[in-house]
Amino acid sequence: MNAGAVISLLMLILGTIGNAISMVVLSRSRFRNLVSAVYLRYLTIVDLIVLYTGLLRKFIFFLLGIDIRWYYPAICGTHKWLTYVSLQCSAWIRIAFTIQRLFCIWLPYGSRYRFTERAARIKIFIATLFIVLLNSHMLYGHRVGFYAYVNDTVCVYVTNDYGDFFEMYWSVLDLCFYSAIPSVFMIIGNILIVVKVLRSRKGIQRHSDSSSSNRTNGLSRNSKFSSMTIVLIMLNIFFVIFTSPSGILLIGMIYWETNDNEILIWQLVDVFDVLSYLDNSLNFMLYCLSGSLFREEIIKLFCPRRRSIQDVNESQEMHTKY
């Protein structure tokens, strides 16, 4: 088994286990009524689809030298369509999440009525439907056919005109829609969120003469808010780090590729393509590192006895205090 197959398999295993645990944790009572958790649960589902379409195909190719799109007519266009749709949904769900957090931070008083669970589900449905229809041309634009250049059957375009459209225009549009535009939006969103959070903390420090009970109540009200905001910022950073290199290389190929370095360029494309799936594989670790509420629920899930003892101690402290 070569290095590409080993790395792909490890990412598949980590991503499957991590996303499955994330779904269980995000469906627990503590997260069930959080609007942010609606986006994260959907992101978990989409990430699993990405892993079992894009990354699984890479693993099979590295292991057996077989591209599943080449040998199964029913998979050719459908698989490509599902891969593009899931990757774009993964990117734009982060944008929807970022917009929700921006409004909650900059306009907190009206946001609780504007950004509800029902509204989040409607936005997710509309965005998904738009992306599904936007990429629907792939379903009828590809077929399995003989390609003389490789002397084998491959997934080819139904017509030369469609092939020109896909290679010259759609690939660039997809790159912008999947990577470039979301990355720019996430960077700007992160900056605005951090600026507002820093301003808010300065405001709290200026009013530090308020009573300790008021400060304690404020901290408890903002714990979920702060945890989800940190998770969002880290999600956006991971997306930009892991997806940008592949996008930059695909754009740069137009200017950099020559007969001498063609093989090297395409090897780098494969490497960066696989690395981009880290964004879909490591979200569980990201939640654990950046989300205090998520870590607490993990402890409850896997160490219920330890958590029950902690709850009893907290209850005793509350009775003693009051």
- Residue 123 to residues 40, 47, 99: CA-CA distances in angstroms? 14, 18, 11
Comparing 46-60, 104-118, 174-188, 304-318, the range with the smallest average pLDDT is 304-318
pLDDT at residue 154, as a whole number: 80
SS3 content of the chain, % helix, strand, coil (to 5): 85, 5, 10
CA distance 256 to 243: 19
C-alpha angle 247/253/255, rounded to 5°?
Answer: 125
Quick one: CA torsion of 60, 62, 65, 69, rounded to 10 degrees? 50
3-class DSSP assignment, residue 145: strand
Task: Return the CATH fold of 3-315.
Answer: Rhopdopsin 7-helix transmembrane proteins (1.20.1070)
Q: What confidence tens digit (pLDDT) does each residue in 26-75 have?
A: 998 888 888 889 999 999 999 999 999 999 999 998 898 888 888 777 78
pLDDT digits (tens, 9 = 90+) for 243-255: 888 877 877 776 7
Domain ranges within the chain, ordered by starting residue: 3-315
> For position 321, what pLDDT does the model report?
34
**DSSP reduced 3-state for 27:** coil
Max avg pLDDT among 104-113, 140-149, 171-180, 286-295? 171-180
Q: What is the pTM of this model?
A: 0.84
Buried b (16+ CB within 10 A) or exposed e, 58-84: bbebbeeeebbbbeeeebbbbbbbbbb
